[in-house]
């Protein structure tokens, strides 16, 4: 009965998300991913952030899959992946899962596209396996420590209050549909339903809350050492062609604090600033982004 209910729910968003599902089994958990395009084509791995899922890339996948093999996983706890309540949900565990996926699918010379938490996760893989990364596409994200955090996210990190807001009221995912975009007309009823689809109850919002908790703002935070290691190894990727596409209206990963860091880290990168686009830059500006990717990739 539960599987039937899940199928009906998935069918309700098929107009926006018409892709076949694949699963990798990791330590007894089902790790969901999309695998579109010719299996022999050059691979693109697209990593989402919090509180999105592979749905975030749905407007890019059909066009890109004409020439590439597009892999878009849902991190454990997100999208259609399993949502265990006792999982570590750390940056290290997410890097581990992406590494297993890439290894088990035998993906070589990958093009890596990252957004939000996908930046730290993807660069975690890339800095440990630089020989397997051919090109980088960076959307509003970070893979380094920056001592700034919006107050609305700080509130979600307060232990009891944050859990109530994020898991009880779904405040993080709902608020993102307001604050993470500058082009609200794109969020039709069907699109809103797609973004919120995986996060429909307390249990299913566990990863959203744990991602917020895993932001390593404190010096002694367990994830801080992992992030510092990634940042220290980013120069290993400096010779890779890189395209940075940045929504200038991002309230979280601001142009001043974060884009400037990427420009310093990757001086060879091509930069495309998109005025009037917010943190969900792919949602806000996919028509502008697709020709950029087609040329760059």
Does residue 220 carry a pLDDT above 80? yes
Per-residue pLDDT at 6: 63
| Average pLDDT score, the chain | 96
pLDDT digits (tens, 9 = 90+) for 241-256: 999 999 999 999 999 9
Q: Which region, left, alpha or beta, applies to residue 110 given φ > 0 means left and ψ of -120 to 50 means alpha?
A: beta
Per-residue pLDDT at 167: 98
Domains and CATH numbers, the chain: 2-296 (3.40.50.1820)
pLDDT band at 11 (very low <50, low <70, confident <90, very high): confident
Per-residue pLDDT at 8: 59
What is the 3-state composition of the chain as percent helix, strand, coil, each rounded to the nearest 5? Answer: 45, 15, 40
Helix (H, G, I), strand (E, B) or coil at 80: coil
Sheet holding 242-247, edge to edge: 22-26, 29-36, 69-73, 43-47, 110-116, 133-141, 242-247, 270-274
Per-residue pLDDT at 49: 98
pLDDT digits (tens, 9 = 90+) for 27-76: 999 999 999 999 999 999 999 999 999 999 999 999 999 999 999 999 99
pLDDT band at 5 (very low <50, low <70, confident <90, very high): low
Per-residue pLDDT at 12: 81
pLDDT digits (tens, 9 = 90+) for 154-212: 999 999 999 999 999 999 999 999 999 988 889 999 999 999 999 999 999 999 999 99
pLDDT digits (tens, 9 = 90+) for 120-167: 999 999 999 999 999 999 999 999 999 999 999 999 999 999 999 999
**Which of 4-13, 18-27, 174-183 bottoms out in mean pLDDT, i.e. has the lowest?**
4-13
- What percent of the chain shows pLDDT beyond 70? 97
Distance of CA 114 to the CA centre of its chain: 6
131's CB contacts (< 8 A; 6+ apart) are: none
pLDDT band at 1 (very low <50, low <70, confident <90, very high): very low
Nearest to 210 by CA among 96, 91, 118, 95: 91
Per-residue pLDDT at 20: 96
- Whole-model pTM: value is 0.96
The Cα–Cα gap between 95 and 106 comes to 16
Q: What is the mean pLDDT of residues 219-239?
A: 98
pLDDT band at 10 (very low <50, low <70, confident <90, very high): confident
Does residue 284 carry a pLDDT above 80? yes
């Amino acid at each position: 009965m539960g599987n039937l209910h899940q199928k009906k729910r998935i069918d309700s968003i098929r107009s926006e998300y018409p892709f076949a599902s694949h699963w990798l089994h990791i330590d007894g958990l089902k790790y969901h991913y999309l695998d579109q395009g010719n299996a022999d084509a050059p691979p693109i791995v697209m990593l989402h952030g919090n509180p999105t899922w592979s749905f975030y890339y749905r407007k890019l996948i059909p066009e890109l899959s004409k020439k590439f093999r597009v892999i878009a996983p849902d991190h454990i706890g997100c999208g259609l992946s399993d949502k265990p309540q006792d999982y570590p949900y750390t940056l290290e565990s997410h890097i581990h899962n992406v590494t297993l996926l890439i290894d088990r699918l035998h993906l070589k010379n990958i093009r890596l596209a990252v957004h939000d938490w996908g930046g730290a996760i993807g660069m975690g893989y890339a800095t440990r396996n630089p020989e397997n990364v051919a090109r980088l596409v960076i959307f509003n994200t970070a893979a380094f420590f920056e001592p700034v955090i919006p107050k609305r996210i700080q509130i979600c990190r307060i232990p009891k209050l944050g859990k109530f807001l994020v898991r009880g009221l779904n405040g993080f995912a709902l608020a993102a549909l307001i604050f993470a975009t500058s082009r609200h007309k794109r969020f039709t009823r069907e699109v809103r339903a797609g973004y919120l689809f995986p996060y429909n109850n307390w249990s299913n919002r566990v990863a959203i809350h744990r991602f917020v908790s895993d932001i390593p703002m404190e010096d002694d935070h367990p994830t801080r050492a992992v992030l510092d290691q990634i940042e220290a190894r980013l120069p290993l990727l400096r010779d890779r062609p890189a395209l940075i596409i940045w929504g200038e209206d991002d309230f979280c990963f601001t142009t001043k604090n974060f884009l400037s860091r990427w420009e310093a880290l990757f001086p060879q990168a091509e930069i495309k600033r998109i005025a009037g686009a917010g943190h969900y830059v792919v949602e806000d500006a996919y028509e502008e982004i697709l020709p950029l990717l087609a040329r760059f990739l």
